[in-house]
Amino acid sequence: MKRTINIFGSIDWLMVIIYLFLVFFGWLNIFAVGYNEKFTTIFNLKLNYGSQLLWILFSFILIIIIFILDFKVFPFFAYIIYGLSLLLLLLVLKFGTEVNAAKSWFRLFGFSIQPSEFAKIGTSLALARYLSGYGITKFTLKTFGICAGIIGAPFLLILMQPDPGTALVFAAFLLVLFREGLPGWILVIVVFVFALFLFSLLLETGIIVTALIGIVLVFHFILNRKPKVFFTSLVIFGIIYAGLFLANKYLEAGIRYDLVIILALVISSIIYIVLTLKHKVKHVFVLLIFLYGFVAVPYSVDFVFHEVLKPHQQKRINIMLGKEQDPRGYGYNVNQSKIAIGSGGFSGKGFLDGTQTKFDFVPEQSTDFIFCTVGEEWGFVGTSVVLLIFAGLMVRIIIVAERQRSKFTRVYAYAVASVLLIHVAINISMTIGLFPVIGIPLPFFSYGGSSLMGFSVLLFILIRLDAMRKAYL
């Protein structure tokens, strides 16, 4: 009994209040989407706002369970929870229900459960457990390897569903590793490869390869700081490329544009290596290795996409990237979403007075595009308040993380902050056209049981752990 009182005294009420605000405001917006003149009661379980109430209730029950449980179960069962979540991810590939060409859902007793939400919690716990283990004082290659494995396993399983959007979320854990000592350049390169990965699906290979060569040339210059070296390499590549380009054109060889570039790259890099053997030029081999590695990405993406993935999986990715299932043409969804948000103006059209989101102009308006309703009905005032509250929550989590004596709690807190960050950033960015349309929900806001309960548990495990920070003395 004494301990319980103790817990309530140490709970970080700011996070709890922010959580309650986001859940309540989110529900208001889901209500606004579903509201019409036939409205009778908010407890109509056939409608989104009705069942979301149920999910909120379930979330509260889960939160109470988290507080009833001994806080030590989380570090103790971390690997088991992680293992369970991987098992569920495996099972969903076999027994899952296919929605939008992806097997990411279990259908049980009329409820839909998305195991990937569970995997985010499992991975956060597992990372925290591993990194807080004895002997992890320095971030060695082995540490990185094991961490990469912990993150990579659910990532690959979710990619196989295929649900690349959700898989992408796991990249957020790199921030956690970065906090715990992962060298900065690895973070930069991984982020870069991810970006490359994404652009490979969106852009022509030739454009990407050209851009890569340009970037590496610039780096080559930065590392050497000798204009002569930069221009020599540029001129060699330029002449050979021009020669091959013209030859291809006038001999009507019909070689693909990107292959011409690569041929030019291979020839010019061989010449360049021979030249640099005589003169001392730094980092040539390292840069070339990276360059060839990067160039391989679009081709492997291309190969995996066309040769490994089945047509329905390709379709799924195309849907995610907004290339397909767009009856009014590419970019329709984002356009409608931008119109909805933009039409809200500074102060919004008023609660329940939105027309764009309510009347289905915006797709998925109560799940992935719920931010449109905020934008339309509450205006810039509403969107900036929601955004700043999210930012405040993340910053608060970091402050909370840094005050922990337990490394487990700190790592876990960073994991929570990172997952929230990538969800909020990608979700809002896609509704305003800053990012391709990737169907991931806005935490606490979007309609859906798995998402709401997943994020509630994710956050409240942290609040529970933080409440016990004084226990680690």
Partner 1 sequence: MDQHSDRKFIIGGIILLITLIILVRLFFLQVIDTSSKLSAENNSKRIDFEYPARGLIYDRNHKLLVYNQPAYDLMITPSDLKPFDTTELCDILKISRERMKEGIKNSYKKLRDPFIKQLSPETYAVLQERLFKFPGFYVKARTLRKYEREIASHLLGYVGEVDEAIIQADPNYSLGDYIGISGLEKSYEKVLRGEKGQKVYLVDVHSKVMGPFQGGRFDKDATVGRDIVCTIDADLQEYGEKLMKNYKGSVVALEPSTGEILAFISSPFYNPSLLIGRQRTQNYLLLQKDTLQPIFNRPLMANYPPGSTFKTINGLIGLQEKVISTQSEFYCDLGYYSGRVRVGCHNHHSPLDFREGIQNSCNAYFCNVFRRIIEDPKYGNVTEAFNNWRRHVVSFNLGSRLNSDFTNELPGFIPQSSYYDKYYGKNGWKALTIISLAIGQGEILVTPMQMANMTSIIANRGYYYIPHSVKEIQGQNNIDERFKEKKYTTIDTANFRPVIEGMYLAVNGGAGSTAYWARLPKIAICGKTGTAENPHGEDHSIFIAFAPKDDPKIALAVYVENAGFGSSYAAPIASLLIEKYLTDTITRPWMEQRLLETNLLYKN
User: Which residues of the chain form contacts with partner 1 (CB under 8 A)?
Assistant: 36-37, 137, 175, 178-181, 327, 336, 338-346, 355-356, 358-361, 375-376, 379-380, 383-384, 387-388, 390-391, 394-395, 398, 401-402, 414, 417, 421, 425, 428-429, 432, 434
37-46 b/e with 16+ CB inside 10 Å = b?
A: eeeeeeeeee
SS (H, E, C) 385-425: HHHHHHHHHHHHHHHHHHCCCCHHHHHHHHHHHHHHHHHHH
Minimum separation from the CB atom of position 362 to partner 1 (A):
8
Q: How far apart are CA 363 and CA 327, in angstroms?
A: 12
Sequence-separated (6 or more) residues with CB below 8 Å from residue 251: none
| Identity of residue 181 | G
Is 113 or 421 the residue whose CB approaches partner 1 more closely?
421
Q: How far apart are CA 67 and CA 432, in angstroms?
A: 38
Is 63 or 438 the residue whose CB approaches partner 1 more closely?
438
Is 271 or 389 the residue whose CB approaches partner 1 more closely?
389
Minimum separation from the CB atom of position 453 to partner 1 (A):
24
Q: How far apart are CA 381 and CA 398, in angstroms?
A: 26
Minimum separation from the CB atom of position 357 to partner 1 (A):
10
Q: How far apart are CA 154 and CA 85, in angstroms?
A: 8
Is 92 or 175 the residue whose CB approaches partner 1 more closely?
175
Q: How far apart are CA 262 and CA 295, in angstroms?
A: 9
Is 257 or 380 the residue whose CB approaches partner 1 more closely?
380
Is 120 or 358 the residue whose CB approaches partner 1 more closely?
358
Minimum separation from the CB atom of position 180 to partner 1 (A):
7
Cα separations in angstroms, 307 against 98, 313, 340: 21, 11, 39
Is 40 or 137 the residue whose CB approaches partner 1 more closely?
137
Residue pair 123/150 in contact (Cβ under 8 Å)? The answer is yes
Is 55 or 361 the residue whose CB approaches partner 1 more closely?
361
Residue pair 435/338 in contact (Cβ under 8 Å)? The answer is no
Is 30 or 426 the residue whose CB approaches partner 1 more closely?
426
Minimum separation from the CB atom of position 183 to partner 1 (A):
10
Minimum separation from the CB atom of position 417 to partner 1 (A):
8
Q: What are φ and ψ of residue 233, in 5° steps?
A: -65, -40
Going by C-alpha positions, the residue among 124, 47, 31, 80 that lies closest to residue 465 is 124
Minimum separation from the CB atom of position 229 to partner 1 (A):
32
Sequence-separated (6 or more) residues with CB below 8 Å from residue 429: 435
Minimum separation from the CB atom of position 336 to partner 1 (A):
8
Coil, helix or strand at residue 447 = coil
Minimum separation from the CB atom of position 437 to partner 1 (A):
16
Minimum separation from the CB atom of position 370 to partner 1 (A):
15
Sequence-separated (6 or more) residues with CB below 8 Å from residue 88: 106, 115, 118, 119
Is 94 or 137 the residue whose CB approaches partner 1 more closely?
137
Residue pair 457/81 in contact (Cβ under 8 Å)? The answer is no
